[in-house]
């Protein structure tokens, strides 16, 4: 059934004050050249039918399209993809499953309307302030839409999240940092880093993207991240005009580091594929890369003030295979891209159609680390309201321990999972642990909430040990007797 969400704001409904941000910079903007890209973006079912009729890549059959229309899947997230990515999807089952809508997405729409309660951390429209880093929603669009997208609420306007005005954002950052310096704010550090997100910032024009980069640098930030999957969806975007804009930015702000948080989910997105989807190798047996992606990565990698970091979720029937994850990490590093995070699929509405159980995903990731060098390895984490919770261990239980009795005996018999608060907005919880009884069916941290024995998310003035003491109570009572 269609959703009943009614957004309070629509992206673009507020003035962005570009003229203010660009005032007295005509000579700078005159040096930025634009490229007119034709991505052939196919959006929604009716347009896709027309696209196929004109000879486009056929990834849906007519019966599948009829089933999609009957299911109302576009009410959750309309299908959307570039011609380039659809052509890749014809040759790659993993790529096809990443963007191909399925009627079963509508079978269970349970999940969070606002994943990780992000609006709680939004003091200014279009900005999330949770760490020393701020996240900016800069555009409500991507070249293609992954079906598991945890920003789907923003893309479709189902929550009141809006796009950011760099003029307002700069005012907020400068005001916050000045208040920290004066000692008026003590609970949060100065803002020194920003992540441009959306949607995908790389669908913006060079000048519009420069608005954000330049404004953030002028606000005193040291690191600017750009979260993008455009290197997979449409690598031609990383052309000479774009790279020259980055060079201009560096000339103006040589002390600012740019970090491209790229998003490759499967090796098929950047390795060279033959007509039957097979990998192509050179005479030495090394895997060859898609030349368009390789050119984009080399263009960024040739600039020492730019880094590239990959992060992606583990998704059912896309990359839920340890050998695939291992190959992904090996080949990304060989292309100059660091492996940053593998994530658990967020608990978005409809997540059950895409999510791999947490403990299975952890095991796949753990197995994928075998035979990787130290510079190729990555973390597996859940991006929760409490912060990035790295999953560090799953401990098998022992039925003999059930003899201890009570909840603790059951927990030790079932086994334990251990999370570490790798990144949290609360300094007193940084590095602390969350220990819970195993739940092989859990798809998110919510699947463990009634099984937690030690909760490091509790603030320092709370009782982190309460659940454990409750579980130990029968054993302590028996010992006292």
Summarize pLDDT for 266-285 with one digit per residue, the tens. 999 999 999 888 999 999 99
Distance of CA 469 to the CA centre of its chain: 37
Report the pLDDT value the prediction gives residue 97, as an integer from 0 to 100: 96
Please write the tens of the pLDDT for every residue from 87-141: 999 999 999 999 999 999 999 999 988 888 888 899 999 999 998 899 999 999 9
User: Is 60 exceeded by the pLDDT of residue 12?
Assistant: no
* More reliable by pLDDT, 463 or 446: 446
Give the end-to-end CA distance of the chain in Å, rounded to a whole number.
58
Report the distance separating Cα 350 and Cα 75, nearest Å. Answer: 12
Q: Which of 355, 423, 339, 440 is nearest to 132 (CA)?
A: 423
Please write the tens of the pLDDT for every residue from 347-401: 999 999 999 999 999 999 999 999 999 999 999 999 999 999 999 999 999 999 9
Report the distance separating Cα 75 and Cα 144, nearest Å. Answer: 17
The CATH superfamily of 18-37+106-355 is Aldolase class I (3.20.20.70)
Please write the tens of the pLDDT for every residue from 166-193: 999 999 999 999 999 999 998 889 999 9
Is residue 147 within 8 A of residue 106, CB to CB? The reply is no
Query: Could you tell me whether strands 80-81 and 42-43 are parallel, antiparallel, or unpaired per DSSP bridges?
Result: antiparallel
3-state SS, residue 311: strand
Report the pLDDT value the prediction gives residue 9, as an integer from 0 to 100: 43
Please write the tens of the pLDDT for every residue from 190-204: 999 999 999 999 999
Residue 363 is encoded by which pair of tokens?
A: 């095991």
Q: Is the dihedral of CA 376, 380, 382, 386 positive or negative?
A: negative
Tell me the average pLDDT across 244-249: 98
Q: Which of 155, 2, 4, 6 is nearest to 69 (CA)?
A: 2
> What residues pair up with 420 in beta bridges, in sequence order?
390, 433
Burial class (CB in 10 A: 0-12, 13-18, 19+), 139: buried
Report the distance separating Cα 465 and Cα 267, nearest Å. Answer: 43
Q: What is the DSSP string of 380-429?
A: EEEEETTEEEEEEEEEE--GGGGGG-HHHHHHHHHEEEEEEEEE-S-GGG
Report the pLDDT value the prediction gives residue 10, as an integer from 0 to 100: 43
Integer angstrom CA distances of residue 414 from 360, 400, 436: 15, 10, 10
Tell me the average pLDDT across 302-325: 98
Taking every pair of Cα atoms in the chain, the longest distance, rounded to a whole number of angstroms, is 84
Is residue 39 within 8 A of residue 82, CB to CB? The reply is yes
Q: Which of 98, 99, 233, 269 is nearest to 277 (CA)?
A: 269
Among 48-62, 217-231, 248-262, 282-296, the least confident range:
48-62
Q: Across all residues in the chain, what is the average pLDDT? A: 91
**Percentage of the chain with pLDDT > 90?**
78
Report the pLDDT value the prediction gives residue 426, as an integer from 0 to 100: 84
Is residue 237 within 8 A of residue 230, CB to CB? The reply is yes
Q: Where are the domains of the chain?
A: 18-37+106-355, 388-480
Report the distance separating Cα 343 and Cα 331, nearest Å. Answer: 19
> What residues pair up with 227 in beta bridges, in sequence order?
261
Burial class (CB in 10 A: 0-12, 13-18, 19+), 187: exposed
Report the pLDDT value the prediction gives residue 14, as an integer from 0 to 100: 56
Is the backbone peptide bond immediately before 199 cis, with ω within 30 degrees of 0?
yes
Burial class (CB in 10 A: 0-12, 13-18, 19+), 479: exposed
Report the distance separating Cα 245 and Cα 207, nearest Å. Answer: 8
Report the pLDDT value the prediction gives residue 2, as an integer from 0 to 100: 35
């Amino acid at each position: 059934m269609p959703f009943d969400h009614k957004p309070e704001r629509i992206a673009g409904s507020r003035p962005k004050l570009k003229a203010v941000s660009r005032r007295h910079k005509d000579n700078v903007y005159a040096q930025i050249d634009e490229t007119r890209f034709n991505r052939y973006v196919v959006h929604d079912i009716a347009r896709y039918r027309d696209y196929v009729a004109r000879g486009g890549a056929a990834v849906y059959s007519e019966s599948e399209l009829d089933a999609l229309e009957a299911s109302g899947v576009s009410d959750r997230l309309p299908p959307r993809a570039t011609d380039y990515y659809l052509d890749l999807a014809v040759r790659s089952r993993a790529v096809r499953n990443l963007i191909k809508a399925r009627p079963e997405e509508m079978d269970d729409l349970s999940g969070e309307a606002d994943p990780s309660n992000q609006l709680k951390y939004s003091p200014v429209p279009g900005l999330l302030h949770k760490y020393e880093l701020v996240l900016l929603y800069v555009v409500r669009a991507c070249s293609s839409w992954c079906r598991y997208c945890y920003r789907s609420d923003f893309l479709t306007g189902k929550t009141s999240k809006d796009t950011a005005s760099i003029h307002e954002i700069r005012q907020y950052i400068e005001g916050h940092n000045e208040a920290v310096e004066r000692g008026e704010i003590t609970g949060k550090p100065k803002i020194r880093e920003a992540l441009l997100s959306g949607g995908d910032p790389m669908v913006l024009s060079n000048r519009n993207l420069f608005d954000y980069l330049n404004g953030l640098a002028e606000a005193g930030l040291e690191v600017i991240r750009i979260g993008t999957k455009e290197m997979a969806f449409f690598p031609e975007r990383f052309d000479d005009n774009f790279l020259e804009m980055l060079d201009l930015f560096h000339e103006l702000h040589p002390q600012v580091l740019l970090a491209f948080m790229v998003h490759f989910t499967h090796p098929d997105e950047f390795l060279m594929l033959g007509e039957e989807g097979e990998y192509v190798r050179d005479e030495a047996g090394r895997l060859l890369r898609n030349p368009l992606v390789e050119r984009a990565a080399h263009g960024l990698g040739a600039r020492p003030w730019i880094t590239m970091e990959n992060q992606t979720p583990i998704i059912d029937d896309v990359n839920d295979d340890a050998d695939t994850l291992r190959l992904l990490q090996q080949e990304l590093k060989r292309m100059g891209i660091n492996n940053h995070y593998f994530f658990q699929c967020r608990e978005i509405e409809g997540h059950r159609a895409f999510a791999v159980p947490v403990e299975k995903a952890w095991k796949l990731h753990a197995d994928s680390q075998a035979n990787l060098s130290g510079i190729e390895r990555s973390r597996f984490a859940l991006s929760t309201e409490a912060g990035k919770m790295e999953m560090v261990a799953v401990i098998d239980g022992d039925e003999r321990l059930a003899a201890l009795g009570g909840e603790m005996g059951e927990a030790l018999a079932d086994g334990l999972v251990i999370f570490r608060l790798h990144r949290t907005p609360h300094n007193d919880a940084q590095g602390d642990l969350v220990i819970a009884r195993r739940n092989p069916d859990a798809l998110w941290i919510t699947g463990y909430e009634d099984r937690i024995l030690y909760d490091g998310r509790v603030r320092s003035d709370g009782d982190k040990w309460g659940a454990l003491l409750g579980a130990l109570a029968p054993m302590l009572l028996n010992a006292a007797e």
